[in-house]
Every structure is written in C-alpha cells, then in structure tokens.
Amino acid sequence: MLYETGFQAFTWGNGLMLVIAGIIIYLGIAKKMEPLLLVPIGVGIIMANLPLAGLIVYTSEGLPAEPGSLGELISGVGQGKFGLLNIIYTYGIKLEIIPLLIFLGLGALTDFGPAMARPISFIFGAAAQLGIFVVFLIAYASGLFSFNEAACVGIIGGSDGPPTVYLTTALAPKLLGSVTLVAYSYMALVPILQPPVIRLLTTKRERAIYMKPEVREPSRLELVLFPIAVFVLAALLVPQSAPLIGMFMFGNLLRVSGVTDRLAESARSGFLNVLTILLGVCVGALMPAQVFLSHQTLAIIGLAVLAFTLGTAGGVLAAKLLNLFLKEPINPMIGAAGVSAIPMSARVVQRMGQKANPRNFLLMHAMGPNVAGAIATSVVAGIFLGALK
C-alpha cells in the first residue's frame, strides 16, 4: 500500500481557504480586528483544510462527524473516525455549552449601570433590532436560505457573538462557520460601517447636541436586583431566551454582588479566554472548502452589511423620533449604539460626538443602548428558537 500524502488530496478550494485563513489572521494581528476571535478562527480554517491531517473528520454533508457514545468516541479517535476538533464540536458547540458559558463571562465584564441610569436606552436597543427582522425576511425571500437559515443570517444584525453562535448551532449548524466568521468580522468593522449611516440620517446640528456627561450612579441594591429581575422577566416572556439571558445576568450578578469578586474575576479572565480559544478554533474548523465556498456564503456577507446598516438606522431614527417629545433633546447618535457590538459602537458615537462638539462626552450615554442591545438580541434569539426549533 502506497503512502498517501496530503498533497494528493489537496484541492484548489483548500488552497483558497488557506489564503482566506491567512487574510483573517493578518487582519487579527496586523489590523487588530477582533484578534481574540479572528486569530483562532483563522487557525481553525487551516486545520479544516489540511487533507488527511485527521484534526477533524466530516460527514458527507460537510458537518463534523459526531460520536454516538463516549465509547465510540474513544475507540474512533485512534482509528481516524474522529479528530480532536470533533470532540470540541460535539461536546462544546453542538450541546451549546461553550456559547452559554462565554455569555457568563461577558456578563461579568459588562457594566449595566448606564442602561439602568437611563431606561430610555432600552428603546434604542429594541429599535436597533430592525436589521435582524428585515434581513430575516429578505434572506428567506431570496430562496437561498430555509426559514431556519434565514433567522441565523438575520441575527447577525444584532452584532452580538454568543446569541449568533447559540441560535445558529440550534437551527442551522451547517452555516455556523460562515455566519460566525461574518458576524465577528463585521463587528470589528463597526467603526467603518456605522459613521456613513449616522451622517446620512443626522444633521450637523443634531450631531452637535450637547449632553451632560454626568450619568446617575445606580445604588448597589439596584445593581443586584436588576440582573435578577431581567432574567425572571425575560424567561417568563420568552422562555427560549432563558439560557442566554440567564447566563448573561448570572455573570453580571457575580460582578455586582460585592461578595463574589473571585468568581467574577475568574469568569471574565482565564475562564473566558479558554472558551474563546475553543470557540474560535472550532468555528474555523466548520469552514472546509466544500462548505464555505458557496453562493450562500457570498449572500451572507452582503446581507450582513444590510443588517448592520438597518440596525444602526433603526436606533438613530428612534432617537430622532423621541426628540419630538422630549423637553431636553438627546443626541440621536447614541441610538446607533443599540447595535450592541460592545463597546465598539459606543466608541464610534463618542468619537463622532466630540468631532461635532468638542464639549461632548457621549461614551457613557452610548453604553446604555449598547447593553440594552445585547439583552434585546438575546431575547430575539429566544423568539426565533421558540418559533422555529
């Protein structure tokens, strides 16, 4: 029996995917675009497109092969039936454990204070979900995506990674690699995508509206009760959102309780870092050439831009509408931060606000819609799960 090398099974598609992986790694390292995820994703793509390497084994549909039992897994690894990444996918991604635990860590990182100080932020967070629903309908109407797949394409517009991964794993696992890569790539491009939309929808005078930098500091009791109340309310209204919202709020409770600092520090540091590595590499491994190089992937790339654009527009227009009824107008740019992308979209608003009016300091005002957008996207993911799964 002749020794078979990877060169014999190497295709032009594999070569193209290695080039794409190189570009992604370059963007992460040289341009610092979401490096914590793009670098592991790039490495995962390389792993997925090295024929015969055995790091991950696929079914005929291009999905990672899944063991039927732990015994089958143990015996199959040595025989080439399963690779290292099959284990991570099956027990971490497919069972939706890693995305939920990442949301726990993000909750421990996030300050809910600005959203609590200005409850109006939740209007902007809700309005920014416009992109999700419009793109969901467009994706389905295009005929390229099923109902479930269209929901996963639409959720990219929420600009929040864990809900995107969680929903796509449940409804359309074959799209997980493409959807996740596009979602995180465009989150890194928020500083490029949002300013033209904001400038188009606002006047120079509106962008220069001054807002006092002081934001009310919630009491400790408020900080503790808020995540509990949000979890209970969301779980009762949209039961399918309970896992996402629950982990997010649990992480935040660890942050604000005042007695679980060690747990909060672990959740937002080493624990979150390990999970991010596993998620990134595994998502990259879901992009073998035969799956990624398709008309669907190109459509996802285009529809994601539309979703981000409409989400930004929805938040800005909601702020402009509210200004018709408010005695003290707000700067409508803060509505754009409802596209969560924490904290990139808030920083965009801050920079544009200071450029229009050097006295402005809008960062904390924009962080409120940022947090509200993350909560709203999780609720929308729960709505899709409840309706389609």
* 36 close to 283: Cβ distance less than 8 angstroms: no
Residues of the domain holding 312: 102-388
Which of 339, 349, 368, 335 is closest to 112 using CA atoms? 368
Contacts of 66 (CB under 8 A, 6+ apart): 86, 89, 90, 94
Question: Does some domain include residue 72?
Answer: no
Question: Does some domain include residue 77?
Answer: no
CB atoms within 10 A of CB 214: 9
Question: Does some domain include residue 290?
Answer: yes
How many helices, marked H, and strands, marked E, lie in the chain? 22, 0
Q: What is the pLDDT of residues 251-300, one digit of tens each?
A: 999 999 999 999 999 999 999 999 999 999 998 888 888 888 888 999 99
Instruction: With H, G, I as helix, E, B as strand and everything else as coil, classify residue 58.
Output: strand
Question: Does some domain include residue 223?
Answer: yes
Quick one: what percent of the chain has pLDDT higher than 90? 62
Instruction: With H, G, I as helix, E, B as strand and everything else as coil, classify residue 64.
Output: strand
Q: What is the pLDDT of residues 357-373, one digit of tens each?
A: 999 999 889 999 999 99
Task: Check whether 2 has a pLDDT greater than 60.
Answer: no
Question: Does some domain include residue 305?
Answer: yes
One-letter identity of residue 83: G
How many residues are given for the chain?
389
Count structural domains, the chain.
1
Q: CA torsion 14→19→21→27, rounded to 10°?
A: -170
Question: Does some domain include residue 51?
Answer: no
Which of 310, 85, 120 is closest to 215 using CA atoms? 120
Supply the pLDDT for residue 188: 76
In which region does residue 57 sit, left (phi positive, over 0), alpha (psi from -120 to 50) or beta (all else)? beta
* 93 close to 101: Cβ distance less than 8 angstroms: no
Question: Does some domain include residue 232?
Answer: yes
One-letter identity of residue 221: L
Q: What is the DSSP string of 287-321?
A: --HHHHSSHHHHHHHHHHHHHHHHHHHHHHHHHHH
Say how far apart CA 381 and CA 374 lie, in whole Å. 11
One-letter identity of residue 179: V
Peptide bond into 64 cis (omega under 30): no
Say how far apart CA 240 and CA 342 lie, in whole Å. 23
Name the pTM for this structure. 0.88
Query: Over the chain, what is the mean pLDDT?
Result: 89
Question: Does some domain include residue 63?
Answer: no
Angle between helix axes 130-141 and 295-323 (nearest 10 degrees) is 140
* 337 close to 325: Cβ distance less than 8 angstroms: no
Q: What is the pLDDT of residues 305-361, one digit of tens each?
A: 999 999 999 999 999 999 999 888 999 999 999 988 777 888 899 999 999 999 999
